[in-house]
Amino acid sequence: MAVLWLDEISAGDLETVGGKGASLGELTGAGLPVPPGFVVTAGTYRSFIEEAEIDEELFAAVDVDVDDSAALADAADRAQELILETPFPDELQTEILESYHEVGNGEAFVAVRSSATAEDLPDASFAGQQETFLNVTEEALLDRVRECWASLFTQRAIYYRQEQGFDHSAVNIAVVVQQMVDAEKSGVMFTSHPSTGDATMIIEAAWGLGEAVVSGAVSPDNYVIDRDDRSMDVTIAEKKVMHEKDEATGQTIEREVPEDKRTQRVVSDNEIDALMDLGERVEDHYGEPQDVEWAIVDGDVYMLQSRPITTIDEDGSDVADPTGSVDAAKGLTDGSGSVQAAEGGSTDGTDSSGTGDVLVDGLGSSPGTVSGPARIVIKLDDLDKVSEGDIIVTEMTMPDMVPAMKRASGIITDEGGMTSHAAIVSRELGVPAIVGTTNATTTLEDGQVVTLDGDKGAVLEGSEVEPDEETEPVEEVRPQSPVKPMTATEVKVNVSIPEAAERAAATGADGVGLLRMEHMILSLNQTPAKFIAENGEDAYITELVEGIRGVADEFYPRPVRVRTLDAPTDEFRQLEGGEDEPDEHNPMLGYRGIRRSLDRPDVFAHELEAFRRLYELGYDNVEIMLPLVNDAEDIYQTKELMKEAGIDPQRRRWGAMIETPAAALSVEGMAEAGIDFASFGTNDLTQYTLAVDRNNEHVADRFDELHPAILRLISNVIETCREHDVDTSICGQAGSKPEMARFLVNEGISSISANIDAVRDVQHEVKRVEQKLLLDSVR
């Protein structure tokens, strides 16, 4: 038979109905509330490809080097084409449709879910790699079954199977056809802690269908419950969107959540108790912790899926805590930002209402709330008085302040905007910061105890935060959901200083889209010429190698894109040996970036030698990125210098920043010159296109990376690069903005590099946009 009903299936039927089908059959047999349905068996899929005689060509097509992205894409396209273009045999078509008619008297909307035989296994969960379709009717049912079969051969599925050692020809796929639950509320439940296995149950909930929660389209409410006494910690998210069935078309649509429900708690205490009872029953039934998808309609709870949790550390070692415990989980979310604590507190455990007077205010550039004594830093010698927990108050930070910034609990500056050194480095270190106050150094007194609110940009009088309420910077950015959103668009992370590498790597980013070499050089407190004169060329090169190596080690084998020196003359002038730097009226338009490097090839050669040594040491994940390039001539000159340094431009990945309108308009010539990638530096591209100094707080309100002119330049570059098989990326601050991420994914960018604290948000936003594009393409 091509079809088996759920009440005929048990866990022993894994090879016949796949992991999802076996789980649902087992749950049905255990008397748990599972919507009725049937499974188109894995053997049916196998018969389909064999009887159509496409099996040999199918498996030959996917026998490729999965690290070759072009070959992988071609393999996926061909394999799916073979399945989708093969017609259904009449007998099979009849059996599936007759079974459908028995579900809900033939008028039911059904969910059609893939169930691969290598899915949801105890030691390997590939859930989500194959297709799921909601609100399917008879007219579309057969096409959806075939699309589920074809989804066994997406790029992601082919890659993961090969990486996990699964033979493509040995993996079959079944399809679950199940009556839809028109959910009023839904979500996921971990029956035990997904990292440690402790008796802590975690429930995430949102309005409407569960697709919104699973896909990351919405930030759900979060409930962390101690299973022993059922004490609960609740975090209420702002739920902006929901998925539901369109009554007119039957299609699954996304719509805005009504204002009165956005911050309303989704599930009641009684519903939590019901979910916990079911969770404990399913864990007892399987004898191990489960990851459960659930839905509630008319007060009844339904179980839609259950799979084993594969992220628990069996050794009980000190592992990352992706979800938090009952004590640590205040404000727990999926990282999407707009969250409120359940009992009136803020998400970091502080009372942000505050009772102190506002002393100064500015731009909140790095989130968090801390209290401590203010330390006024006017000159570098003043840094010696900054102790652990102090708040640095200065006109503007510089790279040689980084050691003190790491000691400090907060940063306040008179000058600067959201892209200033203080803003960027503070975010990467996880230190709350406010920039552009204009008068903090003259208004605050040295030693005065203040509270810094990096979210609101306000400095309050007195202490409002207890020291033990403050959080660990690395753990703050570690993903709180144990499952990383899988996206075709890579999501990378920006790193300004090697000291931030551990925190950056903890985000789970796909690599580093920007590592700034200038911060390694400026932190020496000497110009390159001065440092070399006193310590020798080898010492200088070693400093660069070790700085880059520290980041490359944290991310290996994920790529680390290193930008060569790009420091304006005013920053160099403040270092020892800086007295010979040109005195420029506007350093941002002056002697910096690749123009300095090409003008001083003897100094640039040391940077290139550092790259050569890294390659010699085996760091093939290091990529070279050239700043402030204007045209192809800059590329050709640099390419020759790379060859002279012993770097083969054909073997190593290298590319150029797109930071000027000239570069954007000249990118075709650069592509022909041999670059592998073009990366948008939106901070400079915006200031040069709009004539707005990005470090000038007086015009900060006119600095707009989403200006139509900027977007048009970006769009043209992406289109040109795609025509020339050149990757595109963004490493400017704008990549962390949801609006920019949506625009870039729709335009077809290869990767987005975000600030450390925005990586998970961008991953979810990218996944949401990609899924919408896929849905639109099949509708």
Catalytic member of 168, 193, 243, 421: 421
Q: What does the block give as tokens for 580?
A: 């010979």
Select from 712, 744, 710, 742 the least CA-distant residue to 729.
744
Among positive and negative, which fits the CA dihedral 365, 368, 369, 371?
negative
Return the axis-axis angle of helices 708-723 and 682-690, rounded to nearest 10°.
Answer: 120
Give the CA dihedral 113, 116, 120, 125, nearest 10 degrees.
-110
Give, in order, the Cα–Cα distances in Å from 120 to each of 21, 114, 124, 212, 251: 10, 12, 6, 21, 28
Catalytic residue among 243, 606, 731, 764: 731
CB 472 within 8 A of CB 349: no
DSSP state of 709: H
How far apart (Å, rounded) are the C-alpha atoms in residues 425 and 410? 12
Active site residue 421: yes
Cβ–Cβ under 8 Å, residues 632 and 669 = yes
- Of 331, 336, 408, 325, nearest in space to 374 by CA: 408
**What is the residue whose two structure tokens read 């009772």?**
355
Instruction: Please name which of 437, 430, 436 lies closest in space to residue 410, comparing C-alpha atoms.
Output: 430
Closest CA to 406 of 382, 385, 390: 390
CA distance 181 to 139: 19
DSSP string covering 569-629, please? Answer: HHHHHTSBTGGGS---S-GGGSS-HHHHHHH-HHHHHHHHHHHHHHHHTT-TTEEEEE-S-
- Closest to 479 measured CA to CA, from 239, 319, 294: 319
CB 385 within 8 A of CB 375: yes
Query: Catalytic residue at 243?
Result: no
Q: Is 520 helix (H, G, I), strand (E, B) or coil?
A: helix
Is 566 strand, coil or helix?
Answer: coil
Q: Look at residues 364, 328, 326, 324 and name the one whose alpha carbon lies nearest to residue 349.
A: 328
Residue numbers annotated as active site: 421, 731
